[in-house]
């Protein structure tokens, strides 16, 4: 007997809908994820595989999502946010790590990445949020077809590498400075960031080598050489001492690889004679309308006492990976390492009290200078890259930004990190960072379901940097004057 093609498609779709409905009533109601379903059911329905029965008839994963959403109502709490059972998060973060634990404790995770035999586990059509560690996870998928369907949010913004890539940052900040030509009191790139030269640019490379030639003797470290891509954890960073300078002077401009030369801040503020920097968190909570948020991070200290003449990276760099590598080479016990890591991280309030006790700052310094300056810089960092970021109403991103304070209390922007390490090396840090992730999830669900975002923000440690929902100068949250817009 002959059946028309369209009739067969409708029959398959109907059977699929019935099977999913039966499965939903048995498992989703109890919070069980689709990933943990019966292998036979997965084989029969083949819900999310790229070559499933429905794809050959032009039906995509997003069609499945739409069907799931039609059949399943979301239950909300008194704040207008979905209850834990109805927060269906697809994530690559596993239990046992801070971010993973925060997600598993506050949402209904619908994937088990670790149990998958591949890097592409099937995606449940119930998923309403993607919280993925790898920022380029989306590259093999089509938005609106394979993921990020209507009613879903994704924790990465296409174009984020322009904020996270060091070379992009140098190019963008130089371009952005032209907008403020004649208004340098509003934004001066080399008062925000240490003077930086791109060694793949012939003219900038020559300028740097001429500077090195003019230095007859090397008294301390004056420059750092960095790889210009999205490379972090101290990799590709070297202090320029006499030996390295001699090697660089033998090279021909432009350099083949993406290296940057950045002027070294020689007068850093010290804590117990150790260099430190600020890790702070920038969240682009929404791209359309644009909503930018600030969140405190922690002070990170180097493992060695500061010595301007040293070429040891652990003297000049403060990140956790460098600290751990330093401890490993010195054969510290586990308890000694835990104590050192706890001492390495201070809260901003702890630093403020320390500086007040030294008589270096006043009582209003933390709120009226430090946090305000950090937020100002965040605004410019986002705006200088805005034309490179995908303007999509369902994406967001968490960045880790690093700043340095010098003895004149100037704040210097060093770099931004994509998918920053969120850890808990002390009880205080664990508590703050766990709340950071759980609050971020609340904020994104508030945006998704149009809850009262302002009320949600009041219960978090986030502060507004920019809010396009507001009118006129209110968008700038009091950070930018009218002449500097």
Q: Has residue 114 got a pLDDT over 60?
A: no
pLDDT digits (tens, 9 = 90+) for 78-98: 999 999 999 999 999 988 899
Beta bridge partners of 404: 412
For residue 201, give the 3-state DSSP assignment. Answer: coil
Of 32-36, 125-129, 249-253, 416-420, give the lowest mean pLDDT range: 32-36
The closest alpha carbon to 70, from 141, 20, 111, 123, belongs to: 20
* pLDDT computed for residue 378 by the predictor: 98
* pLDDT computed for residue 450 by the predictor: 97
Q: Has residue 373 got a pLDDT over 90?
A: yes
Where do we find the tokens 């920097």? 277
Taking all residues of the chain, what is their mean pLDDT, rounded to a whole number?
Answer: 83
Asked if 89 and 34 touch (Cβ cutoff 8 Å), the reply is no
Q: How far apart are CA 461 and CA 184, in angstroms?
A: 32
pLDDT digits (tens, 9 = 90+) for 127-183: 999 999 988 888 888 999 989 999 999 999 999 999 999 999 999 999 999 999 999
For residue 128, give the 3-state DSSP assignment. Answer: coil
pLDDT greater at residue 114 or residue 457: 457
Q: How far apart are CA 158 and CA 321, in angstroms?
A: 27
Q: Has residue 74 got a pLDDT over 80?
A: yes
* pLDDT computed for residue 8 by the predictor: 43
If you average pLDDT over residues 257-271, what whole number do you get?
A: 93
pLDDT greater at residue 135 or residue 442: 442
Q: How far is CA 41 from CA 1, 16, 22, 225, 408, in A?
A: 29, 11, 11, 55, 66
Q: How far apart are CA 241 and CA 231, in angstroms?
A: 22
What CATH architecture does domain 195-263 belong to?
Answer: 2-Layer Sandwich (3.30)
* pLDDT computed for residue 255 by the predictor: 93
Please state which CATH number belongs to domain 161-190+267-420+452-484. Answer: 3.30.470.20
Q: How far is CA 9 from CA 6, 47, 54, 279, 309, in A?
A: 5, 15, 8, 54, 73
Q: How far apart are CA 56 and CA 51, in angstroms?
A: 7
Asked if 15 and 46 touch (Cβ cutoff 8 Å), the reply is no
Specify the domain boundaries for CATH 3.30.470.20 within the chain.
161-190+267-420+452-484
Neighbours of 182 (CB within 10 A): 6
Where do we find the tokens 């809010």? 467
If you average pLDDT over residues 291-316, what whole number do you get?
A: 81
Q: How far apart are CA 444 and CA 156, in angstroms?
A: 12
DSSP-derived secondary structure for 240-294: --HHHHHHHHTS-SSPSS-EEEEE--SSB-EETTEEEEEEEEEEEEEETTEEEEE
Q: Has residue 329 got a pLDDT over 60?
A: no
The pLDDT-based confidence of 49 (bands split at 50, 70, 90) is very low
The pLDDT-based confidence of 257 (bands split at 50, 70, 90) is confident
Neighbours of 62 (CB within 10 A): 20
Of 19-33, 241-255, 259-273, 328-342, give the lowest mean pLDDT range: 19-33
Specify the domain boundaries for CATH 3.30.1490 within the chain.
195-263
Q: How far apart are CA 334 and CA 262, in angstroms?
A: 36
pLDDT greater at residue 230 or residue 151: 151
The pLDDT-based confidence of 28 (bands split at 50, 70, 90) is very low
If you average pLDDT over residues 277-303, what whole number do you get?
A: 94
């Amino acid at each position: 007997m002959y059946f028309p093609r369209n009739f067969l498609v409708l029959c398959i779709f109907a059977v699929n809908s019935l099977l999913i409905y039966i499965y939903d009533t048995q498992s989703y109601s109890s919070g069980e994820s689709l990933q943990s379903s019966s292998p036979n059911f997965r084989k029969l329905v083949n819900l999310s595989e790229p070559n499933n029965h429905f794809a050959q008839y032009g039906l995509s994963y997003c069609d499945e999502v739409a069907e799931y959403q039609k059949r399943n109502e979301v239950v909300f709490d008194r704040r207008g946010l979905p209850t834990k059972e109805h927060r269906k998060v697809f994530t690559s973060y596993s239990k046992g790590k801070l971010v993973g634990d925060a997600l598993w404790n506050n949402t209904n995770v619908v994937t088990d990445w670790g149990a998958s035999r591949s890097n592409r586990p099937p995606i449940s059509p119930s998923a309403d949020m993607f919280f993925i560690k790898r920022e380029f996870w989306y590259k093999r998928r089509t938005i609106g077809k394979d993921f990020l369907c209507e009613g879903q949010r994704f924790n990465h913004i296409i174009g984020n590498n322009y904020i996270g890539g060091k070379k992009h940052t140098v190019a963008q900040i130089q371009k952005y400075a032209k907008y403020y030509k004649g208004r340098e009191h509003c934004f001066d790139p080399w008062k925000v960031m240490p003077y930086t030269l791109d060694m793949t640019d012939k003219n900038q490379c020559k300028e740097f080598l001429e500077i090195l030639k003019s230095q007859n003797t090397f008294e301390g470290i004056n420059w750092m050489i960095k790889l210009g891509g999205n490379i972090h954890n101290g990799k590709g960073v070297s202090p320029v001492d006499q030996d390295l300078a001699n090697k660089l002077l033998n090279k021909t401009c432009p350099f083949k690889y993406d290296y940057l030369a950045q002027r070294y801040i020689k007068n850093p503020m010290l804590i117990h004679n150790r260099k430190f920097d600020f890790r702070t968190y920038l969240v682009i909570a929404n791209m359309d309308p644009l909503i930018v948020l600030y969140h405190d991070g922690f002070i990170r200290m180097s493992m060695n006492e500061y010595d301007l003449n040293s070429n040891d990276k652990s003297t000049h760099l403060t990140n956790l990976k460098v600290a751990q590598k330093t401890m490993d080479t010195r054969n510290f016990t586990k308890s000694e390492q835990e104590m050192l890591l706890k001492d390495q991280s201070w809260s901003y309030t702890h630093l403020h009290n320390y500086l007040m006790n030294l008589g270096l700052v006043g009582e209003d310094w933390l709120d009226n200078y430090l946090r305000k300056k950090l937020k100002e810089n965040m605004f410019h960092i986002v705006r200088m890259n805005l034309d490179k970021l995908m303007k999509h109403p369902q994406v967001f991103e968490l960045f880790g930004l690093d700043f340095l304070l010098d003895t004149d209390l100037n704040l210097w922007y060093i770099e931004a990190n994509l998918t920053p390490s969120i850890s808990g090396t002390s009880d205080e840090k664990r508590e703050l960072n766990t709340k950071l992730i759980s609050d971020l999830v609340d904020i994104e669900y508030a945006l998704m379901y149009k809850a009262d975002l302002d009320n949600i923000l009041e219960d978090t440690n986030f502060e507004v940097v920019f809010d396009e929902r507001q009118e006129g100068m209110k968008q700038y949250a009091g950070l930018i004057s009218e002449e500097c817009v």
